[in-house]
Amino acid sequence: MLASNSPKPDVDTRPNVILFYLDDSGYGDFAHNGNPTIKTPNITKLKESGVNFTQFYVTSPACTASRYSLLTGRYPGRSGLGSWVIGPNDKKYMHPKEITLAEGLKSVGYKTALFGKWHLGSPNEKNQFSKETLPLAHGFDQWIGTNVSHDYDSAMLIKSNPLGNTPIAGYEILEKDLPSNIKASESLTGLCAKATMDFIRDNKRNPFFAYVAFNMPHLGLFVSDDFKGRSRHGILGDVMEELDAAVGAIMNTLEEVGVKENTIVIFASDNGPWIKFSNQSETKYGDTRLQVGYATPFRDGKGSTWEGGHRVPGIISWPAKIKGNRNEQTPVSTLDIVPTIFKIAGVPLPTNRTIDGRDITPLLMPRPNSDTLEEFNFLYSYMDNKPSAIRQGAWKLHVRIGSQTENDYGFTASRETPLLFQVEHDLGERINVAATYSEKVRQMMADLERFEVQLKKEGTFWDTEN
């Protein structure tokens, strides 16, 4: 557990933190990014109140690995999980020695909560129903949400409860078998929003952190009765409009209790969108729940090595401190959230492990003679949590490619014949310039291999237990 020796002021002026994390929502699923038929006015309003990052990245194009990096500031390869997704019957889970965003903030007096999807471990026979699999062991004071994505047959809606004992002590199962439990699945967005609003009202006099991890728009798509048929864009549009309304309701609650000005709000998605659903005729959801999203203008989507899998909407707002209505083209990633929020809240960064993210406060709140932001050096992780590509500045080097659609788009990539794209201008990754910039290829490949050596040398917390 972290400890802070910083004295607390008589009047606590530290900001609250709300972290919205959508599930499988693409860059092109929002009105502020140009979608002509999906209405998201509250998210547009949030964007206008803060900084809109046009190059905002997640480390992995799939659920578990992306969420691990968001909460720890570390690449998925450091997790020891071995895969970008862990299911409800997998033995492993996020190691208890990891220090999460919630744990750090809790150590300096924040009230912490998770509302929505966890997907970093589930108690089961293989892990002896370990209490370390679920959120209360990782810095959260309370939780209501799902253990995994709602499309798993074993997906459950769970609530923390000191008197509960299902599936383990400290929790109670509210609903089981979510894929076949239509009403429960349709209630997830509204339930998440209401719980967040209640938490804000209950903690308006304390600094608080709410991780709002909506289940939608991950397939299958579910929407409450109030939003069915509202959108010109079918059920995906209905789902997005309900999510937008939930964001708006939470923002209104911040204003209602008088804390909106001093609340940092972060908005992002865990990875790119579904752009294809296989075995559509056989799926239990039926065709109507399978309208997929948009990564426009990027190539591919969820589960791919391309920009569409890793480049997502990203907004950071803090009305009291951050000048709003800004479009920022400097690339950043979810790795940067932990060091940045820890810096603002007075939480010391752990020194006994590598933190891969950067403090981006100089970018959010530029001042004369402020610290220079480190150059963007970023690794794209794939299904085994090992790198598929590296980005430095404007350049992206692929050493392997993979696609949700099983489409190679006419390319092959390997360590012997990597692909090089200038992704600040070539958004669709169409023009391979590796032959033209051979020295850049050699330098980036050397940096990628240097990281892999360091990662292997440092190992993971799970390595000491195997």
Q: Which domains does the chain have, with CATH numbers?
A: 16-364 (3.40.720.10), 377-465 (3.30.1120.10)
| 266-276 pLDDT per residue, tens | 999 999 999 87
| 235-255 pLDDT per residue, tens | 999 999 999 999 999 999 999
From 95, 119, 218, 310, the catalytic residue: 119
pLDDT of residue 209: 99
Strands 332-333 and 377-381: unpaired
**CA angle, corner 344, sides to 341 and 347, nearest 5?**
75
Instruction: Say which residue the tokens 């709002």 belong to.
Output: 212
Spans of the chain, pLDDT less than 70: 1-11, 277-291, 466
63 catalytically annotated: yes
Q: Determine the angle formed by the axes of helices 337-345 and 63-72, rounding to 10 degrees.
A: 30
* Six token digits for residue 225: 């009765």
* Six token digits for residue 222: 């579910």
* Six token digits for residue 319: 């009305």
Cβ neighbourhood burial of 360 (10 Å; 0-12, 13-18, 19+)? buried
pLDDT of residue 283: 47
pTM (predicted TM-score):
0.95
Give the dihedral sign, CA 186/187/190/193.
negative
192 catalytically annotated: no
